[in-house]
């Protein structure tokens, strides 16, 4: 459950041990989670106490279908986070070769390897996974640039695509062997809630549903997910706010001497002369950032909460 052997960012616990302070005093910019989440509002006691019923599940899926304009030919299933789906997907079909263009979110390769697949980062293969937009560099894909023309299993991880819905490849969900993943935690800022979706080939979705078991989504997630996905106005104003904040972050970092390499409006990737030195400098101000084992110059930052800009600007002054 907290298997964080793989490099996930996060790791604020360990940073606090090393650099001191109390959790409450730290600003965690090591993830790509919207710091201004969808409001919790009121939750009726039944949401907590009762087994989630069929109606609540149907309301969530109907809202998801509308919000993401899911093609009629595609089915969808909700799970306790996109990571739960990522862990199960490689077991849906017989293992073989998989292509996962990197660098990218490393849980995909880990899950395919755990299920006995041979994973490479280029070339044709039986399965292909793209993260769209890619984490950490923001790379976008199109149907024409997908890496494996012969793939029988195609996974398009759109965990960060809700900031750019016009770029979504959701139409691909109607193709046999295809799955598009959606995450609720990042754009809506409720990562602790655990909610994610797989959308695509009805046969694959049916197997995923079986493997997840009944009641895979909590009562609070069913309720808040349905409310948030039924609120396109919040999504529109949030996209504008995230775009403004990411431009502001780029400006702050440029003044401090880093070069923007892109990303999404939920996280920004910077080139520095020495990412570890930047991470330690920020950590001395109790601001946690993300570095990458495979590139010593890359630093990734999520967006600060409105109240935290002055501390970030002071740390970089």
101 binding a second copy? (CB under 8 A): no
106 binds a second copy (CB under 8 A): no
- The Cα 196–Cα 81 span in angstroms is 4
Can residue 100 be called a binding residue for a second copy (CB under 8 A)? no
Binding residues among 112-151 for a second copy as defined by CB under 8 A: 114
Distance CA 169, CA 156 (A): 8
Single residue of 22, 51, 233, 293 touching a second copy by CB under 8 A: 51
Beta carbon of residue 171, minimum distance to a second copy (angstroms, whole number): 24
Determine if 33 is a binding residue for a second copy (CB under 8 A).
Answer: yes
Separation in Å, CA 98 to CA 92, 132, 217? 13, 17, 29
Exactly one of 27, 64, 77, 100 binds a second copy (CB under 8 A); that residue is 77
CB of 54 to a second copy, least distance (A): 5
Per CB under 8 A, 304 contacts a second copy:
no
Residue 226 contacts a second copy per CB under 8 A: no
C-beta closer to a second copy: residue 87 or 269 = 87
Candidate ranges 9-17, 64-72, 157-165, 264-272; the one touching a second copy (CB under 8 A): 9-17
Nearer to a second copy by Cβ, of 152 and 209: the residue is 209
Distance in Å, CB of 189 to a second copy, minimum: 6
**With binding defined as CB under 8 A, does residue 190 bind a second copy?**
yes
Nearer to a second copy, 89 or 148 (CB): 89
The yes or no reply on residue 2 touching a second copy (CB under 8 A) is: yes
Instruction: Report how far apart, in Å, the C-alpha atoms of 237 and of each of 187, 218, 264 are.
Output: 12, 27, 16
**Would strands 27-28 and 287-288 be described as parallel, antiparallel, or unpaired?**
parallel
CB of 94 to a second copy, least distance (A): 14
Q: Which stretch binds a second copy (CB under 8 A): 63-71, 76-84, 174-182, 273-281?
A: 76-84
Phi, psi dihedral angles at 84 (to 5 degrees): -65, -35
* 55 near a second copy (CB under 8 A): yes
| Residues 111, 122: Cα–Cα separation, whole Å | 18
Minimum distance from residue 269 beta carbon to a second copy (Å): 19
Residue 172 burial by CB count (10 A; 0-12/13-18/19+): exposed, middle or buried? buried
Alpha helix segments (H runs only) across the chain: 12-19, 45-49, 54-67, 82-88, 107-114, 202-212, 219-229, 232-255, 275-284, 309-316
User: Which of 40, 75, 46 is closest to 61 using CA atoms?
Assistant: 75
- Binding to a second copy (CB under 8 A) within 245-274 occurs at none
Cβ proximity of 275 and 17 under 8 Å: no
What is the C-alpha separation between 52 and 214, in angstroms, rounded? 9
Cross-strand bridge partners of residue 178: 154
Q: Which residues bind a second copy (CB under 8 A)?
A: 1-4, 6, 8, 10-14, 23, 28, 31, 33, 35, 37, 40, 46-58, 61, 77-81, 83-88, 91, 107, 111, 114, 185, 189-194, 209-221
């Amino acid at each position: 459950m907290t298997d964080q052997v793989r490099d996930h960012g996060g790791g604020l616990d360990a940073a606090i041990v090393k650099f001191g302070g109390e959790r409450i005093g730290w600003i965690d910019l090591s993830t790509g989670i919207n710091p201004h989440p969808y409001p919790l509002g009121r939750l009726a006691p039944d949401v907590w106490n009762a087994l989630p019923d069929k109606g609540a599940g149907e309301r969530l899926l109907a809202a998801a279908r509308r919000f993401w304009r899911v093609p009629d030919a595609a089915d969808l299933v909700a799970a306790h986070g996109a990571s739960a789906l990522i862990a199960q997907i490689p077991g849906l079909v017989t293992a073989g070769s998989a292509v996962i263009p990197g660098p990218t979110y490393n849980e995909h390769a880990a899950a395919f390897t755990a299920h006995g697949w041979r994973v490479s980062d280029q070339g044709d293969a039986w399965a292909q996974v793209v993260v769209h937009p890619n984490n950490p560099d923001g790379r976008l894909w199109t149907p024409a640039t997908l890496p494996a023309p012969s793939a029988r299993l195609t996974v398009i991880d759109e965990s960060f695509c809700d900031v750019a819905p016009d770029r979504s490849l959701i139409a691909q969900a109607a193709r046999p062997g295809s799955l598009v993943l959606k995450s609720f935690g990042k754009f809506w800022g409720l990562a602790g809630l655990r909610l994610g979706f797989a959308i695509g080939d009805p046969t694959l979705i049916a197997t995923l549903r079986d493997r997840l078991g009944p009641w895979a989504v909590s009562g609070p997630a069913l309720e808040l997910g349905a409310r948030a996905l039924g609120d396109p106005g919040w999504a529109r104003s949030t996209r504008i706010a995230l775009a403004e904040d990411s431009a502001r972050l780029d400006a702050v970092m440029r003044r401090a001497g880093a070069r923007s390499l892109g990303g999404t409006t939920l996280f920004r990737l910077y080139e520095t002369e020495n990412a570890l030195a930047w991470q330690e400098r920020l950590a001395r101000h109790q601001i946690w950032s993300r570095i990458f084992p495979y590139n010593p110059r890359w630093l990734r930052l999520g967006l600060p909460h409105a109240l935290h800009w002055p501390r970030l600007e002071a740390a970089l002054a």
